[in-house]
Amino acid sequence: MSEPLHYQSLVSIAEQLRSSELSSVDLTEHMLARIGALDNQLLSYATVSSDLARAQAQRAEAEIKAGRYRGLLHGVPVAIKDLCYTAGVPTKGGLKVRQQFVPEFDATVVRRLQEAGAVLLGKLNLTEGALSAYNPEFPIPQNPWGKELWAGVSSSGSGVAVAAGLCFAAIGTDTGGSIRYPAMANGVTGLKPTYGRVSRYGVLSLAESLDHVGPMARSVADAVALYNRIAGYDENDKTSLNREDTEIAELAATNLNGLRLGLDAGWFSHGTDPGLVEALEHAIAVLTALGMECVAVNMPREGAMEYRNLWLPLTSYEAFRAHREFFPEREDEYGGYLRNVLRMGMRMTKAEYVAAEKQRAEFSARFEAALYEVDAVICPSGGMVFEVNAAAQQGDAEAMKDVVKHFQGQFTIPADLAGTPTLSLPCGFNDQAQPYVMQLMGNKYSEATLCQIGHVYQSETDWHHRHPNQQNIMTLNC
């Protein structure tokens, strides 16, 4: 392989493990050594579960040699966002009030990964409670493309670990953009499934009607390999979907004839970095050359702040109820940003929440109507990576003023409100070697179509094969 072992695709690694060309034990030791060498700079892991990973690797290797191969994840080292319960392993959720919490059972996604024979390297850092800022006493993951660069909200540890070759894929969650933003910031692939496709049982809630669980990886094919093992009905989750079309069939690098690509150029270019707009236009040219038909669509034109004002009341109301075990009794242990959001939710009445839900339904109907005209709509995956300091990332109100202007919530929040799927994938780089990432939005249950489009695009481009320079990673804290 031309790529270093830790940057090879999950699918390629799986084949080498299946054929016993590669040992899961040796691979796991390689990954643990890489984490040990680099993660004191990157801070992507909240907990490295070395003993568990070694035991799982030994078991996987023995099973494969005995002919009991379980599938693509068997013996492959992956990592979990520290929002998902893992029996016997701390699950802090970025929260000081949960610093000592060790679950007695696995979240459904974790259990399904273990049943698939995956090797769990550890739990990944995130923002406090999966909102937008870090608790001041918790580490902030560092973007491997540059020490001054934002690593994305919430699933930041997942994005950093995937981009830096510290796991072959990771679990992320998305309530307002927390798979899309870290995918964008770290230049990786992220699939936010339809709401209910992946069980939330055993996953700490931010806002239960908005929370999505999905895979992050370095390619569409790798993301699909993870998605296929974590998706599906779960009787423990009342919002879980029971549908026969959950699994995505093997992807083929074929043409895209007959598929329609939705374009609203004024919408996706408004306020967007010119270089990113150019990268999107180039991606459109690639997709049309592969057979897609461009179709004009009219996306809802609310601004980023209008979307935020629609999303925030729903989030705060539901978040307060998710934190009632600790809030307000232990509110002094919360960071200022999350504390203020929980206070907002505590003050809201049921009538105000019902009114917000009505607005959500009205907007979602318009948004979904535009999506149903085509097979996918192209736009940015939340904007462009930017420089940021620790104070802003910890929620300091003054420092955040310069940060908020970079958030293009019009490209992230709608799909959470409507519960529709999205796929984020790299589509270029700027002159400072910072990634550009596009997003494909689809109507409900269209994960397979989005992933087929993304896979064919990645078969024709090499953006997803470009990785951060290890020397830059080693000097992040210098």
Catalytic residues: 81, 154, 178
Q: Look up residue 56 and give its amino acid.
A: Q
The alpha carbon dihedral of 408, 411, 415, 420 has a sign of: negative
Of the candidates 381, 360, 344, which has an alpha carbon nearest to the alpha carbon of residue 307?
A: 360
| Residues 6 or more apart in contact with residue 150 via CB below 8 angstroms | 143, 185, 385, 386, 387, 388, 393, 403, 406
Distances (CA, A) of 459 to 197, 349, 468: 26, 51, 21
Neighbouring C-alpha atoms within 13 Å toward the C-beta of 415: 34
Name the residue among 160, 164, 411 with its Cα closest to residue 172.
160
In Å, how far are 164, 225, 279 from 170, measured between CA atoms? 12, 11, 26
Q: Which of 266, 298, 307, 295 is nearest to 366 (CA)?
A: 298
Could you count the other beta carbons within 10 Å of the beta carbon of residue 325? 9
Distant-in-sequence, close-in-space partners of 40: CB < 8 Å, separation ≥ 6: none
Task: Quickly list H helices, 234-324.
Answer: 265-269, 274-289, 304-322
Find out whether the peptide bond into 380 is cis, omega within 30 degrees of 0: no
Q: Which of 37, 34, 77 is closest to 58 using CA atoms? A: 77
Alpha helix (H) ranges present in 372-446?
Answer: 390-393, 397-404, 413-418
Cα 367 from Cα 301, distance rounded (Å): 10
| C-beta separation of 436 from 430 below 8 A | yes
